[in-house]
DNA sequence: AACTGTGGCAAGTAGT
DNA sequence: ACTACTTGCCACAGTT
C-alpha cells in the first residue's frame, strides 16, 4: 500500500505563456473523417533527461524524455529523423562512376543516397555521399557490408545523440508540437481540458500504450530549437529495500519523491509481490527524472531483478521503472557491460557513488557519510535496528523497521542535495550539450564527442570511428621539479592559466591540423610533430576550446554581477556552469592522449605535454639565472622564493612593531608575484600569480607539501600527505595535521613534542581503537552463477593483501561486500606474514572492536611522523625511543 | 634467527 | 580520458 499523491496546486496560467502558452485549434484528422479531434499546439521549455527511439514501419520516432520548466514530465515524440552514415572511396581522390552509386542504392536497408559533398578526410578533400538507412540498427550492418569498397564515416554515432548533433541542441531545448495526451492533473495545471486519449492517436504519434509522463507531445525535427539554460525543477525518487538475510526476500520497502514543492513518502508492506508491484506503480505514477538510493547499483536493483526473476513465469511482474509504456521491455533497468544501470527516460544515480566521488569519505557506509554531512541531525537517527538480525527485527517490531527503512530512503535525497549532484550534472549536460543521463553516467569521451562531432559535421570534415586497440606505448606527461627539503618562507606560486587548453589553442593542435609535410608546418613541437597554421586551417579542438574559454569568462563575469546584486541563486547557477566548463576543458587532454579516441593521433598528447615541459623548464631556467630560487614545480605551477634581505618569521606576529614588518613582507611578496606574472606572460601564455605563502614545507618528496597561504586568502594547504589520504588511520592524519600547523608557524619544538607524546600514548595503548581503523577499497568479480566473489582476477596473490583478507572475513560473517567498496580493518598481529587483520564492524553491527597490535601502529605512526621530523634531525627511531640519538655526525648535518 | 635490500603489486593522490 | 609520483606490504635473496 502506498500513500496517494496529494493534488498538485494549479499554476498560474500567465507563467505558462512565457514560452508561447497553449493554443487550441480544431482540425479534421485523416484517420476518421467524420470525427473532429481536438489538436493542441503547445510550446515548452524542456530539460532533456534521456533520449531513446522506436522504429515505426519504415521510419523512426525519437523519444525525448524530460521535465518542462513548469515542472511537468514530458515525452516528446519527434518525427522526421532519418538514420544515416557517410561514405567515400578508399585511397587518394578519384572519380566515381554512377553505376557504383547505383549499386550503393541497391544495398539492403539503404533508403536513399545523397551527395556528393566535398569533405576533408584523412587523405585530403574527397567527395562524400550520405547514405540513409531504414532504422538506426541498420547503420552498423550497412557499414559492415560496405567494408572494403567504401570508407564509412559518422557510422558509430548513437541515434539518440544524433538529434542533438544534427539540430545543434543542448540539454535545454525549446519544443513546439501537438499535445496528444495529458494527465488530468497536468491538464488542470495548464488550465485546459485533457485531449482525448484514443489509441489511434497515440499510434499515429508512434506510441504503443500509455507513457507514464504528464504530457505526450508530437513534434517534428524542425520544431525543436536551442534555448538558454534554465534551472529545471527535476524530481528525484529515492528508495530502500529491507531484505531477509535468511531467504534473500524483500520484507518491506520505502520510497520518497522529492520535488520543488516538497516530499511525498511511501512505505510498502504485504506480500513480496505486493511490495514490489506497488513500488513499481509508485515510480510510474510519480514519474521521477532521477531514481536514487544508497548503493542501489549493487544492492537494491539487483535484488529487485533477482526477486522478480524468482516469481513463477505466469505471474511475474514487469520491472517497468522506465518512462515507457508498461508492456515496453525497454522499461526494465539494465546494466549491460557498463558499470551503470540505465533505464529508458530516467537517470539512475547512486547516492553512494555520487557521495564517494564528491566527498571522498574515509568510510563509505550510509551512516558515516550522513554523519559527515549532517553531524547535527544525526542525533535524531537512532541506530536501534540491528541490520544483521533483520529477520528477527522484522518479526518483533515491523513498524520500527519500516520507519528505519523510510529514513534510509530519505537520506540519499539529502546527500544528493547537499553535494548539489543533480544541479552539477544539469550544468555539465548544458555545457557538453548532452542529456542529463550522459552527464551523469557518461564518459568524458562522450561529452567531448558531443562537441567535436557536431562541429566536424558542420565544417565538412568526416567523422572517423572510435579506434579499437590501445597502443602499449604511453606518452610522456608533465614535468615535476625536485622539491627542496625542509621549511622555506615567503614563497609565491605562479600558475599557467589553463595550460594544456592554451597550448592546444596557441599551436592549433588537432587531428585535423596535424601534418607530415614540413613545408606546410608552422607549429613544430619539441617532439618534432607538426601542425599547420591557423590561417591555413583552424583546428576543431582550438575552436571549441576558444569558445569554452569565452563561455567560462562569461559565466565568471555573470557571477561577479550576481554577487554585486546579492543574488545567490544566480551566483550559484553561473558558478556551476563555469565549473562544468573547466571540467570539460581539462578533459580534452585526457581523451587526446588516449589511444582509442576517434579524433586523435599519438602526436597530439605528446606534443601538448612536450610544449608544456619546455615552457615550464624555460621559465625555471630564467628565474634561476636571475638569482631567484625555485622551490618546486608540478606541470603548470612554479614555487619561487621571494628575494628578501631579511626574512621575517612566517607566523603572523601579535606585536604591533613586528606586525608592521610582517605586513610589509606580505606586501612586497604580492608585488613580487605580480611582477613575475607580468614579466613572464606573453600574448599566448598567461602566467598568473596564484598564491602567496608565508611558509612551505616538504620532507623532500614530490607531490607532498604543506603551505600557509596568506594571499589571496588565508588558508593552509596540504598536498599528498596522510591527512589528504583515505587509506591512513585517523590518529596519523590528526597528528600530522596539527604538526604541520606548528611547523608552518615555525614552532618546531611543539611539533616534535606532539609527535613524541602521541607515539608514547600509542605505545601504551592509550588511544581509541576507532583512531586505528584503516580503510581501502577492494576489487573482486561477482560469479554470475553462485554470487561468490572471485579475487584472483584482480590480484596476483589475494590472500596476502590486508584489504582482501578483510573482505573475505566480511563475507564469512554474512556481511555485504560489493566489489569496489571500501573495507575497514584493524591490524591485530603484524608479526605474522601476511599480517593478521580483523574487520572493524562497530558502526555496522555494534560490539567490541578488535584488539589492535599497538607495536605495529607505533612503528607505522613513527615512520610517518619521522619522515617529517627527520628534516630537523629526529628519525623515526628517535621518536619511538623518546630521545634523540645525538652523534657527531647528526650535528654536522 | 634476525636483519637489510630490492623488485613487484596495489592503492591513492597531484596535476592536466 | 591521461601521466607522475609516493607509500606500504609482501616475497625473496642475501647478509650478519
Is this prediction's pTM over 0.95? no
The protein residue nearest C2 (Cα–C1') is A590
Q: Which of A181, A210, A233 is the last residue of a domain?
A: A233
Task: Verify if strand B has an atom below 7 Å from the CB of A134.
Answer: no
Question: Is residue A22 in a domain?
Answer: no
The reported pLDDT for the residue numbered A237 is 98
A49 CA to C16 C1' distance (Å): 70
What's the Å distance between residue A776 CA and nucleotide B11 C1'? 8
In a domain, A885, yes or no: no
Q: Are residues A281 and A330 both part of a single domain?
A: yes
* Average pLDDT, 10 consecutive residues per value, chain A (893 residues): 34 29 34 37 94 87 96 95 94 82 92 92 91 94 92 93 96 93 85 63 57 92 95 97 91 96 96 96 96 92 93 94 91 83 95 88 84 77 74 92 93 94 95 96 92 96 83 84 93 94 94 92 93 95 95 94 92 92 91 89 93 94 94 95 93 88 95 95 85 95 95 94 90 94 93 93 92 92 84 89 93 87 91 89 85 91 91 86 61 37
**A650 and A529 assigned to the same domain:** yes
Residues 779-818 of A with CB under 7 A from strand B: 779, 794-797, 801, 803
Q: Are residues A306 and A397 in the same domain?
A: yes
- Which residue approaches B16 most closely, CA to C1'? A586
Give the distance, in angstroms, between residue A732 CA and nucleotide B6 C1'. Answer: 27
Look at chain A and report how many structural domains it folds into.
Answer: 4
Nucleotide minimizing C1' to CA distance for residue A501: B16
Residues 6+ apart with CB under 8 A from A722: A728, A732, A733, A736, A864
Residues A396 and A317 in one domain: yes
In this complex, the nucleotide whose C1' atom is nearest to the CA atom of residue A480 is C4
User: Using the CA of A860, which nucleotide's C1' is the nearest one?
Assistant: C8
* Gap from A818 CA to C11 C1', Å: 29
Interatomic distance A838 CA / B1 C1' (Å)? 28
Q: Which nucleotides of C are covered by protein (CB under 7 A)?
A: 1-11
Instruction: Decide the pairing of beta strands A84-88 and A521-524.
Output: unpaired
Q: Do the domain assignments include residue A552?
A: no
Query: Does residue A638 share a domain with residue A699?
Result: yes
Q: How distant is C1' of B1 from CA of A834, in Å?
A: 18
Residue A136 to residue A805: CA distance in whole angstroms: 48
Residue A771 CA distance to nucleotide C15 C1' (Å): 38
Q: For strand B, give the nucleotides within 7 A of a protein CB.
A: 9-16
A492 and A376 in a single domain? The answer is: no
Please check whether residues A415 and A395 belong to one and the same domain: yes
**Whole-number distance in Å between A827 CA and C15 C1':** 30
Number of continuous H segments (helices) and E segments (strands) in chain A: 27, 30
Those residues whose C-beta lies under 8 Å from the C-beta of residue A791, and which sit 6 or more positions away, are A779, A780, A781, A798, A804, A807, A808
User: What is the SS3 string spanning A774-799?
Assistant: EEEECCCEECCCCCCEECCCCCCCHH
Report which of residues 621-660 in chain A place their beta carbon less than 7 angstroms from any atom of strand B. Answer: 634-637
Residue A499 Cβ under 7 A from any strand B atom: yes
Give the sheet arrangement for strand A124-133, strand by strand. Answer: A110-121, A124-133, A84-88, A151-153
Distance A443 CA to B15 C1' (A): 20
Count Cβ atoms below 10 Å from residue A24 Cβ, excluding itself: 13
In angstroms, the CA of A833 and the C1' of C4 are apart by 31
Tell me, in Å, how far CA of A435 is from C1' of B15? Answer: 29
**Cβ(A500)–Cβ(A608) below 8 Å:** yes
Q: Is residue A143 part of a domain?
A: yes
Looking at the structure, tell me whether residues A407 and A301 fall in a common domain: yes
Give the nucleotide at minimum CA-to-C1' distance from A837: C9
Distance A831 CA to B2 C1' (A): 13
Does residue A703 reach within 7 angstroms of strand B, measured from its CB? yes
Q: Which nt has its C1' nearest the CA of A777?
A: B11
Domain annotation covers residue A621? yes
Task: Provide the CA A768 to C1' B10 distance, Å, integer.
Answer: 28
Q: How far, rounded to the nearest angstrom, does the alpha carbon of residue A715 sit from its chain's CA centroid? A: 27
Residues A324, A210: Cα–Cα separation, whole Å? 8
CA distance A613 to A411: 46
Task: Give the distance, in angstroms, between residue A442 CA and nucleotide B5 C1'.
Answer: 46
3-state secondary structure labels for all residues of A184-219: HHHHHHHCCCCCCCCHHHHHHHCCCCCCCCCEEEEE
Closest nucleotide to A703: CA versus each C1': B14
Q: Is residue A118 part of a domain?
A: yes
Q: What is the mean pLDDT of chain A?
A: 88
My answer on whether A142 and A248 are in the same domain is no
Q: Which residue has the cell 606534443?
A: A607
Measured in angstroms, what separates residue A796's CA from nucleotide B7's C1'? 15
The CA–C1' separation of A704 and C6, in angstroms, is 8
> In this predicted structure, what is the pLDDT of residue A821?
87
Pick the last residue of a domain from A363, A393, A419: A419
- Secondary structure letter of residue A498 according to DSSP: T
Question: Nearest nucleotide by C1' from A717 CA?
Answer: B14
Give the residue with minimal CA–C1' separation from B10. A795
Q: Which nucleotide is nearest to A867 (CA to C1')?
A: C7
At A271 the pLDDT is 95
> Any alpha helices (H) in A171-294, and if so which ranges?
184-190, 199-205, 272-286
CATH assignment at residue A115: 3.30.342.10
CATH number of the domain that A669 lies in?
A: 3.90.1600.10
Residues A183 and A310 in one domain: no
Res A885: pLDDT: 64
| Residue A30: per-residue pLDDT | 35
CATH of the domain at A776: 3.40.1820.20
Q: Which residues touch strand C (CB under 7 A)?
A: A 443-446, 470, 474-478, 480, 586-587, 589-591, 593-595, 605, 609, 699, 701-704, 720, 797, 800-802, 827, 830, 833-835, 856, 860, 863-864, 867
Answer for the pair A441, A435: CB distance below 8 angstroms, yes or no: no
Q: Which domain holds residue A487?
A: 466-544+593-720
A204 and A89 share one domain: yes
Nucleotide nearest to A720 (CA to C1'): B13
pLDDT number for residue A15: 27
Within a domain: A840:
yes
Residue A285 shares a structural domain with residue A192: no
The pLDDT score that the predictor gives to residue A731 is: 93
Do A54 and A194 form a contact (C-beta atoms < 8 A)?
no
- The answer to the question of residue A642 being in a domain is yes
CA A707 to C1' B12, in angstroms, rounded, equals: 21
* Residue numbers 723-742 of A with CB closer than 7 A to any atom of strand B: 724-727
CB A240 within 8 A of CB A294: yes
Amino acid at each position: 500500500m502506498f500513500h496517494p499523491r496529494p493534488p498538485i496546486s494549479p499554476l498560474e496560467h500567465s507563467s505558462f505563456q512565457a514560452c508561447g502558452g497553449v493554443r487550441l485549434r480544431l482540425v479534421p484528422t485523416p484517420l476518421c473523417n467524420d470525427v473532429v479531434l481536438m489538436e493542441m499546439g503547445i510550446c515548452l521549455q524542456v530539460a532533456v533527461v534521456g533520449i531513446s527511439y522506436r522504429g515505426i514501419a519504415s521510419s523512426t520516432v525519437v523519444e525525448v524524455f524530460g521535465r518542462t520548466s513548469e515542472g511537468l514530465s514530458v515525452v516528446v515524440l519527434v518525427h522526421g529523423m532519418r538514420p544515416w552514415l557517410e561514405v567515400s572511396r578508399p585511397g587518394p581522390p578519384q572519380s566515381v562512376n554512377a553505376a557504383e552509386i547505383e549499386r550503393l542504392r541497391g544495398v539492403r536497408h539503404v533508403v536513399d543516397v545523397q551527395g556528393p559533398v566535398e569533405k576533408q578526410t584523412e587523405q585530403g578533400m574527397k567527395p562524400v555521399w550520405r547514405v540513409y538507412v531504414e532504422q538506426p540498427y541498420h547503420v552498423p550492418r550497412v557499414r559492415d557490408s560496405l567494408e572494403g569498397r567504401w570508407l564509412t564515416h559518422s557510422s558509430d554515432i548513437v541515434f539518440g545523440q544524433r538529434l542533438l548533433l544534427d539540430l545543434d541542441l543542448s540539454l535545454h531545448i525549446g519544443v513546439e508540437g501537438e499535445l496528444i495526451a495529458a494527465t488530468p492533473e497536468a491538464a488542470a495545471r495548464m488550465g485546459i481540458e485533457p485531449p482525448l486519449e484514443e489509441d489511434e492517436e497515440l499510434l499515429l504519434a508512434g506510441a504503443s500504450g500509455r507513457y507514464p509522463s504528464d504530457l505526450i507531445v508530437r513534434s517534428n525535427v524542425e520544431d525543436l530549437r536551442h534555448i538558454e539554460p534554465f534551472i529545471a525543477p527535476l524530481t528525484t525518487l529515492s528508495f530502500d529495500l529491507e531484505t531477509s538475510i535468511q531467504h534473500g526476500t524483500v520484507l518491506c520497502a520505502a520510497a520518497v519523491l522529492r520535488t520543488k514543492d516538497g516530499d511525498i513518502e511511501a512505505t510498502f508492506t504485504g506480500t513480496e509481490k505486493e511490495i514490489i508491484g506497488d513500488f513499481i506503480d509508485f515510480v510510474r505514477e510519480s514519474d521521477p527524472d532521477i531514481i536514487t538510493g544508497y548503493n542501489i547499483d549493487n544492492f537494491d536493483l539487483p535484488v529487485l531483478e533477482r526477486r522478480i526473476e524468482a516469481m513463477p513465469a505466469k505471474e511475474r511482474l514487469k520491472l517497468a521503472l522506465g518512462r515507457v509504456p508498461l508492456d515496453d521491455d525497454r522499461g526494465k533497468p539494465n546494466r549491460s557491460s557498463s558499470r551503470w544501470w540505465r533505464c529508458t527516460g530516467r537517470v539512475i544515480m547512486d547516492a553512494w557513488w555520487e557521495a564517494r566521488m564528491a566527498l571522498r569519505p574515509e568510510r563509505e557506509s550510509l551512516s558515516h557519510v550522513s554523519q559527515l554531512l549532517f553531524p547535527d541531525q544525526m542525533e535524531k537517527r537512532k541506530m536501534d535496528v540491528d541490520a544483521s538480525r533483520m529477520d528477527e527485527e522484522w518479526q518483533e517490531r515491523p513498524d520500527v523497521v519500516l520507519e528505519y527503512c523510510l529514513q534510509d530512503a530519505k537520506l540519499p535525497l539529502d546527500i544528493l542535495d547537499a553535494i548539489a549532484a543533480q544541479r552539477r550534472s544539469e550544468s555539465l549536460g548544458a555545457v557538453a550539450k548532452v542529456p542529463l543521463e550522459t552527464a551523469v553516467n557518461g564518459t568524458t569521451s562522450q561529452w567531448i564527442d558531443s562537441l567535436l562531432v557536431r562541429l566536424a559535421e558542420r565544417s565538412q570534415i568526416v567523422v572517423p570511428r572510435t579506434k579499437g586497440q590501445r597502443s602499449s606505448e604511453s606518452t610522456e606527461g608533465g614535468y615535476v621539479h625536485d622539491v627542496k627539503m625542509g621549511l622555506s618562507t615567503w614563497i609565491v606560486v605562479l600558475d599557467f592559466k589553463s595550460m594544456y587548453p592554451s597550448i592546444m589553442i596557441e599551436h592549433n593542435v588537432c587531428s585535423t591540423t596535424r601534418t607530415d609535410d614540413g613545408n606546410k608546418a608552422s607549429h613544430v613541437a619539441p617532439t618534432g610533430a607538426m601542425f599547420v597554421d591557423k590561417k591555413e586551417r583552424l583546428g576543431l579542438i582550438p575552436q571549441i576550446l576558444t569558445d569554452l574559454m569565452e563561455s567560462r569568462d562569461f559565466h565568471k563575469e555573470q557571477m561577479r554581477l550576481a554577487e554585486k546584486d546579492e543574488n545567490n541563486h544566480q551566483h550559484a547557477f553561473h558558478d556551476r556552469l563555469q565549473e562544468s566548463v573547466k571540467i570539460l576543458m581539462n578533459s580534452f587532454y585526457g581523451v587526446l592522449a588516449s589511444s582509442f579516441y576517434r579524433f586523435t593521433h599519438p602526436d597530439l598528447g605528446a606534443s601538448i605535454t612536450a610544449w608544456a615541459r619546455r615552457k615550464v623548464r624555460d621559465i625555471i631556467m630564467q628565474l634561476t639565472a636571475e638569482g631567484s630560487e625555485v622551490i618546486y614545480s608540478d606541470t603548470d605551477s612554479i614555487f619561487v622564493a621571494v628575494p628578501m634581505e631579511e626574512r621575517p618569521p612566517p607566523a603572523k606576529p601579535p606585536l604591533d612593531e613586528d606586525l608592521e614588518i610582517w605586513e610589509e613582507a606580505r606586501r612586497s611578496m604580492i608585488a613580487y608575484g605580480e611582477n613575475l606574472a607580468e614579466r613572464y606572460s606573453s600574448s599566448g601564455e598567461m602566467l598568473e600569480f596564484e598564491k602567496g605563502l608565508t611558509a612551505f614545507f616538504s620532507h623532500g618528496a614530490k607531490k607532498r607539501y604543506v603551505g600557509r597561504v596568506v594571499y589571496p586568502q588565508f588558508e593552509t594547504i596540504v598536498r599528498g600527505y596522510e591527512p589528504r589520504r583515505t587509506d591512513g588511520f585517523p590518529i596519523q592524519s590528526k597528528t600530522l595535521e596539527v604538526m604541520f600547523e606548528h611547523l608552518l608557524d615555525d614552532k618546531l619544538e611543539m611539533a616534535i613534542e606532539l609527535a613524541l607524546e602521541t607515539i608514547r600514548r600509542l605505545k601504551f595503548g592509550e588511544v581509541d581503537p576507532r583512531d586505528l581503523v584503516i580503510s581501502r577499497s577492494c576489487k573482486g568479480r561477482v560469479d554470475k552463477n553462485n554470487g561468490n566473489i572471485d579475487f584472483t582476477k584482480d590480484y596476483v596473490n589475494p590472500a596476502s593483501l590486508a584489504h582482501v583478507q578483510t573482505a573475505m572475513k566480511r563475507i564469512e560473517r554474512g556481511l555485504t561486500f560489493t566489489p569496489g567498496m571500501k573495507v575497514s580493518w584493524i591490524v591485530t598481529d603484524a608479526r605474522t606474514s601476511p599480517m593478521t587483520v580483523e574487520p572493524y564492524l562497530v558502526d555496522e553491527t555494534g560490539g567490541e572492536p578488535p584488539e589492535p597490535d599497538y607495536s605495529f601502529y607505533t612503528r607505522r605512526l613513527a615512520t610517518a611522523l619521522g619522515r617529517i621530523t627527520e628534516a630537523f634531525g629526529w628519525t623515526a627511531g628517535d621518536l619511538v625511543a623518546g630521545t634523540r640519538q645525538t652523534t657527531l655526525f647528526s650535528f654536522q648535518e
